[in-house]
């Protein structure tokens, strides 16, 4: 009987560090392993967004990403240099990191180099002694690993032209370096000056073709030739007597081929094949050993025992396979994939909608279910769990019941989940026809917007419908609304917001914003568009919008940001409701906040400060009025994975701010949380403050923007501040910037009108 185990690891080091303001946490999938390097008991596994290391002796796992040391994303190659005890990490943009213990040295010479436009990417890395050779899109780069510098570039194409190198190998007995290229097999004696292309020769005894894989085993050179227009590849070997076809190589394209500990491994989409030094087959690891649909190998290597194999798998992490029959799957805790189109967060829970719509607002047919984060533990709600429903584009957490979630599925309807289990699907049929699709195809409902009002009514938008807005009242009854001439069968609608005035604001694709309010059972509609007197939007392509704590609407468009300060005027004849840009002066020049940058995401935190996610310039965090920029995070100056921000969600209980980027999700621990109307559960964290703790101390559960004064037990003022929403921050220092001594401290908290007060104790131990 085959024995199979699956292990998912929760990264406690990240959990503990994420308690502090200003620290970043990655929320990345580490379950698609595309390369492996081994050093003793440490197995290094490359994924697209980061790296994880499994220590087989201690049974421990750790991760590395842009959040904790790596300088880039998109790992394409790994190689361990034993002479200098460091891991070489190559990226798709030709960046390189050198990892030694907890230190990371960035070698960005290739990435920064002039020339080689469109060719700067890394395919493979080999290492020997103090040197490493990097196969790139333009040739070969030699690195002195000990000195940590690039020392040579080999351009090996005919007449010194750029030629992509897919794989490299060294035959030690003859001191010959081999390079597999799209134009065949090249080689050169390593004692020759390899920077001159004349010293590289092409093997003309091998028929023309693209060589994607290369390895050297016991004096034999092996290559994989890609067959144009076919899913089949062919592996050939030459042990000095000409080229021969390798038997038992497996069917399908060859994804990986390497030699490790005297064994050859060849990976196809269906099998991992292992060969002895005489090229006789030893093992074939196929999907017969795994649950259907779970085996999708990408790379493989043999350990020193000769009976234990490591297989990098797509979506299911690293497979530790001992003598074929015993298998352990090793996967760090994380979401199923890096796809993230819509986010929702509340009280240590966060949900990811991995579906998407394209620029024309048509379906991308993404069927990956839903990803759920609950207090640092990820759960994949699979398409099967959702009855096969895909294209989840928006998520809404019920603010009155954190275990109830609503999901908008483009093309299906609205899903209700309880404790992450599907309860109901509301579509055209189950809503009694209230949710409608396009005319003539009413059952194909393109639901994108979902919002709850104060009475528990669920508001839903449906695109290309004559009745684009529908509602399920708290008593279970349904109703839908026509927008008349403002929206119909040609109008795409998406997000919906229920404002403090109980207005329903709806985002359209090319018609600005629609506003609806109910007046004695009659729905009134108005469009907010570009042009003075009509809303004064920069254009009619709204990308996102949010209401702040003062009831003002902050609107992001493809040509910048504006604020609608008077939404109450929308339905008042003769009153202006034109939106205005945020203007500020810098070095004598008046400028618009964010200029004409496309603003994809707008979010408001518990202190009424604003987060803006842009299409190309990362994330901005501003003061409540937008005039002061507090943070500007980009992929270059922060752990952001990409400057293209798709969505932002704020957990106003914990202060965590989540960013969905084009490459995955990271979060930032902000200072602001949701404020309360009165003091009910006020406490300090951490408390007691123990020796060695250097982070901030938080006083939580406060009335919005409370005034906080901290004194010693004798009543001497030590520190004072104003809460960020419902949370105040103290760095453990007195007014002179000195660390306070051991003792009990009192935090006196008062709201603006001194109507509510409370006090809590903080014990500091030095």
Average pLDDT, consecutive stretches of 10 residues, N- to C-terminus, the chain (766 residues): 42 37 88 96 95 95 94 96 97 96 94 91 97 97 97 95 97 95 96 95 92 97 88 92 94 95 96 96 89 90 96 93 88 94 96 96 94 95 95 97 97 97 97 93 93 97 97 97 95 97 98 95 95 96 97 98 97 95 86 95 96 97 95 96 97 95 95 91 94 92 95 96 94 95 97 91 96
pLDDT in the model for residue 389: 94
pLDDT digits (tens, 9 = 90+) for 493-519: 999 999 999 999 999 999 999 999 998
Residue 735 CB: number of other CB atoms within 10 A?
11
Residue 596 CB: number of other CB atoms within 10 A?
14
pLDDT in the model for residue 3: 37
CA distance 651 to 712: 32
pLDDT in the model for residue 440: 83
Classify residue 578 as exposed, middle or buried by CB count within 10 Å of its CB (0-12, 13-18, 19+). Answer: middle
> Does the 683-764 domain belong in CATH 3.40.50.970?
no
Contact 508, 491 (CB under 8 A): yes
Share the mean pLDDT of the chain.
Answer: 93
Phi, psi values for residue 289, rounded to 5°: -90, 0
pLDDT in the model for residue 640: 96
pLDDT digits (tens, 9 = 90+) for 571-626: 999 999 999 999 988 878 889 999 999 999 999 999 999 999 999 999 999 999 99
pLDDT in the model for residue 21: 55
CA distance 468 to 491: 9
DSSP letter assigned to residue 111: H
DSSP letter assigned to residue 580: B
CA distance 292 to 674: 46
What is the third-level CATH fold of 31-301?
Methylamine Dehydrogenase; Chain H (2.130.10)
CATH architecture, domain 342-669: 7 Propeller (2.130)
pLDDT in the model for residue 323: 86
pLDDT in the model for residue 695: 87
DSSP letter assigned to residue 12: H
pLDDT in the model for residue 458: 98
pLDDT in the model for residue 9: 45
Q: Is the entire prediction scored with pTM above 0.85?
A: yes
Q: Which residue is it, tokens 């007691």?
A: 688
Domain ranges of the chain: 31-301, 342-669, 683-764
Gap between the terminal Cα atoms of the chain = 58
Quote the strand ranges of 467-530, DSSP E: 469-472, 478-481, 493-498, 504-508, 513-519, 522-528
Q: Which residue is it, tokens 């629609």?
A: 514
Q: Do domains 31-301 and 342-669 have the same CATH topology?
A: yes
């Amino acid at each position: 009987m085959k024995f199979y185990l699956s292990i998912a690891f929760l990264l406690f080091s990240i959990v503990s560090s994420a308690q502090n303001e200003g620290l970043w946490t990655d929320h990345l999938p580490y379950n698609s392993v595309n390369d492996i390097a081994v050093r003793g008991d440490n197995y290094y596994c490359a994924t697209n967004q980061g790296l994880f290391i499994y220590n087989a002796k201690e049974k421990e796992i750790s991760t590395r990403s842009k959040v904790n040391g790596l300088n880039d994303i998109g790992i394409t190659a790994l190689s361990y240099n034993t002479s200098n005890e460091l891991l070489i990490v190559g990226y798709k943009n030709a960046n390189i990191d050198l990892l030694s213990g907890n230190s990371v040295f960035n070698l960005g010479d290739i990435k920064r180099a002039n020339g080689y436009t469109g060719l700067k990417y890394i395919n493979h890395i080999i290492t020997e002694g103090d040197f490493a050779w990097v196969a790139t899109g333009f040739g070969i780069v030699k690195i002195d690993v000990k000195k940590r510098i690039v020392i040579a570039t080999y351009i090996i194409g005919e007449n010194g032209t750029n030629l992509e190198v897919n794989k490299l190998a060294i035959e030690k007995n003859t001191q010959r370096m081999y390079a597999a290229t799209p134009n065949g097999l090249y080689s050169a004696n390593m004692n020759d000056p390899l920077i001159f292309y004349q010293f590289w020769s092409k093997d003309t005894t091998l028929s023309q073709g693209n060589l994607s894989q290369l390895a050297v085993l016991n004096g034999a050179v092996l290559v994989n030739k890609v067959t144009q227009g076919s899913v089949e590849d062919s592996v050939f070997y030459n042990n000095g007597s000409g080229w021969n076809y390798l038997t038992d190589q497996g069917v399908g394209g060859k994804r990986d081929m390497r030699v490790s500990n005297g064994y050859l491994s060849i990976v196809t989409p269906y099998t991992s094949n292992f060969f002895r030094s005489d090229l006789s087959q030893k093992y074939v690891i196929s999907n017969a050993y795994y649950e259907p649909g779970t085996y999708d190998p990408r790379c493989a290597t043999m350990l020193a025992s000769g009976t234990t194999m490591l297989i990098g798998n797509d979506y299911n992490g690293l497979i530790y396979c001992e003598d074929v029959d015993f298998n352990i799957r090793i996967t760090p805790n994380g979401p199923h994939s890096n796809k993230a189109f819509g986010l929702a967060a509340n009280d240590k829970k966060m949900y990811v909608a991995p579906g998407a719509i394209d620029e024309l607002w048509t379906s991308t047919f993404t069927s990956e279910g839903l990803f759920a984060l609950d207090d640092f533990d990820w759960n994949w709600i699979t398409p099967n769990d959702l009855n096969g429903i895909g294209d989840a584009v928006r998520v809404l957490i019920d603010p009155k019941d954190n275990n109830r979630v609503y999901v908008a599925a483009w093309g299906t309807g609205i899903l209700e989940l309880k404790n992450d289990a599907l309860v109901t699907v509301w579509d055209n049929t189950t809503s009694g026809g209230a949710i409608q699709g396009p005319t003539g195809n009413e059952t194909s409902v393109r639901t994108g917007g979902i919002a709850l009002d104060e009475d528990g009514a669920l508001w839903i938008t449906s695109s290309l419908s004559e009745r684009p807005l529908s509602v399920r009242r708290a008593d279970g009854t349904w109703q839908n609304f026509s927008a008349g001439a403002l929206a119909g069968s040609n109008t795409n609608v998406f997000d919906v917001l229920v404002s403090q005035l109980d207005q329903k604001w709806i985002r359209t694709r090319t018609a600005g914003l629609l506003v609806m309010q109910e007046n004695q059972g009659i729905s009134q509609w108005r469009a907010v568009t570009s042009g003075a007197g009509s809303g004064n939007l920069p254009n009619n392509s709204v990308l996102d919008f949010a209401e702040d704590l003062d009831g003002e609407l902050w609107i992001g468009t493809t040509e910048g940001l504006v604020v609608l300060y008077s939404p109450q005027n929308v339905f008042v004849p003769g009153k202006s409701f034109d939106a205005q840009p945020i203007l500020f002066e810098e070095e004598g020049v008046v400028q618009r906040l964010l200029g004409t940058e496309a603003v994809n995401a707008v979010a408001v935190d518990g202190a009424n400060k604003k987060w803006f996610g842009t299409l190309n310039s990362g994330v901005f965090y501003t003061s409540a009025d937008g005039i002061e920029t507090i943070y500007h995070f980009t992929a270059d100056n922060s752990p952001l994975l990409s400057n293209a921000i798709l969505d932002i969600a704020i957990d106003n209980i914990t202060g965590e701010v989540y960013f969905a980027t084009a490459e995955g999700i990271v979060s930032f621990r902000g200072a602001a949380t949701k404020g309360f109307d009165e003091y009910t559960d006020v406490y300090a964290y951490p408390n007691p403050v123990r020796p060695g703790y250097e982070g901030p101390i938080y006083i939580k559960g406060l009335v919005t923007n409370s005034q906080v004064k901290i004194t010693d037990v004798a009543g001497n003022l030590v520190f004072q501040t104003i809460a960020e929403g419902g949370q105040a921050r103290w760095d453990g220092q007195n007014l002179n910037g000195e660390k306070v001594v051991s003792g009990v401290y009192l935090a006196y908290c008062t709201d603006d009108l001194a109507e509510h007060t409370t006090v809590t104790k903080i014990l500091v131990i030095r």
